[in-house]
Chains A and B, each alone.
Chain A
Amino acid sequence: MLGGSEPKSFYFDDDKVNQFMKFINWFYSCFNPWFISITLGCIILAAPVGLVFVSVFFPQTEIWQHLYSTVLSDYIVNSLLLAFGVGFLVIVIGTVLAWCIARYEFAGRKQLQWLILLPMAMPAYIIAYTYTGLLDFAGPLQTLLRDTFHWQYGDYYFPDIRSLPGAIIMLSLVLYPYVYMLARTAFSEQPSSLEEVSRSLGVSPSEHLFKVVLPLARPAILMGAALAMMEAFADYGTVQYFGLSTFTTGIFRTWFGLGNGIAAAQLAAMLTSFVVLLLILEYLSRRKVSYYFQGQKAQQVNRQKLSGRKAFWVPFLCVIPVLFGFMLPVLQLLKWASMTYSKQLTSEFWLLLWNSFYLAAIAAITAVILALIFAYGKRLNPIKPIQILVGVVNLGYAVPGTVIAIGAMISLSWLDIKLNTLTENWFDVSVGLVFSGSLFALILVYSSRFLAVAMHNIDTGLSRVKPSMDDAARSLGYKPLQVLRVIHVPLMKTSVLSALLLVFVDVLKELPATLILRPFNFNTLAVRAFELASDERLIDAALPALAIVSVGILPVILLTLLMDKPSQQSSQVN
């Protein structure tokens, strides 16, 4: 490639002629349909987030002075405390669980292996309001305490779940599976010969734990923690419900309370830069993981069979997170739902269900089609610009939904205004909010945020179709489209289906972007559950919440099936 410099005189100079021809070839290669469609797709997907950063160049001095003197420090401190608190807690829970499951053999280990993943089905805002109901003054626990000890109001201290520590615990209870999954793989892929080397060199098993096992698993653990912390930064439902001032609630307040979209976007840009730091941490960890486990066959470590006291408390310890992260809240939701379902199962609920499902389905199909285009484009044109573009849009998973939504809202309403001026001038009609007021905005945001989930699955599937297979089929007399049908479709089927399922469920659970961008009078399960809970109608919120949780279990089942295959790389999964 020519580094931008124009060759001045290339006559009779073979080297320069070559360089020039290379440049021409490269230039033409940029104008193939793949490159154009990928570039276009990437620009559209990245535009909202890009715009958020552009907003920095339009200073809003007055409002920032106001923010600075009042709430800004709260936003920063609370968001950081929340993220680091969650990071710390998920590392503790996830690592301990992963260690027990990977290294010990005990009764119920097989069942626990997938039970431990169940909290992933539980959106944080749902667990948060369930616990609020469980633990508040009129809730079952405090009532039980009062009845048992004959206490009155004010006789005893009871911690308030609607606080920052409460939010940290709620988020950690549903986010620890990130660390658990990655750490489990790291622990079980360490060859047993490493421990034997240590012992033959006079290093005791406990020293080996701190000198080898944990340092080797550290990148995987940090990677999981980084992913969980990104989710903590992105969380809106929990912190809003608990009344905490963080970046996400601040963005909402600045826009809808103070009415300043640009300042909201600037806050969003600030939040995103925190997330970028986590992305770097995740990237570095991921690279280390691939070095550490390079060329090592996945192998079964001999698990230590537990006996005596340990055989009792290890399974007990492993049950705690899933008990509090899934079983208890689900039981509470079931109880509430059983009280209300007869009057709630009306046409309104079915409409809610239909809205959520078809929105999620459209978004899943869009994201998977985009992922297919990007993945095949990358494969057929392995040139740097395409790889970089696809790599950039693949980062969408790290950007909080609120941020993408703000960017989409600003850019699409600008587009709508321009469009309406145009149509009014030319045809004397206004077409209304074609982009920002329709499902288009939501689909754009979902595609941007969940593309990585789809890409990850499609890439895995496509890596199974070796380029030599295409060549082999062609040389055996198949036309390109036939190759697609007899080779690619059968091999890619499961990856495409799992990509569809994962995006579908993620969209169903998504809250803040849906809250901002949904068309007027358009409700989904997540939005409705959150609204009802915010109106203190906890019991009524149970049915839509249960619907989300039960669909959320599907990817957990899928994941369990994948994890049982030892060769399958444990992946970044939402």
Chain B
Amino acid sequence: MEERIDLPQGTLDLLILKTVALGPQHGWAISERIQQISRDVLQVQQGSLYPALHRLERRGWIKAEWGVSENNRKAKYYALTRAGRKQLETDAHAWRKLSTAVAHVLDMA
């Protein structure tokens, strides 16, 4: 747990977009997925996940639909929209650029 770090602002949106890009997911699965892929480094709290989902939906980057979950329950699934895919590309690009730049600076020292 000590490995866990806080997400910089705006990063969560990027992670969510990336996760749902792989296929429609419900909220719980999104948070599980992020946790798994990041090897438990990134833990998404419900308190930030759901507001982020609603925000993204409002912006039209993801859309929500009620479906049936893997355990046969009604669940709200989020899928990437076309605008969301474009946004994901821009954001991912910007993020990579930023992190490389930050890395360069840090390596210099």
Do A and B form a real pair? no
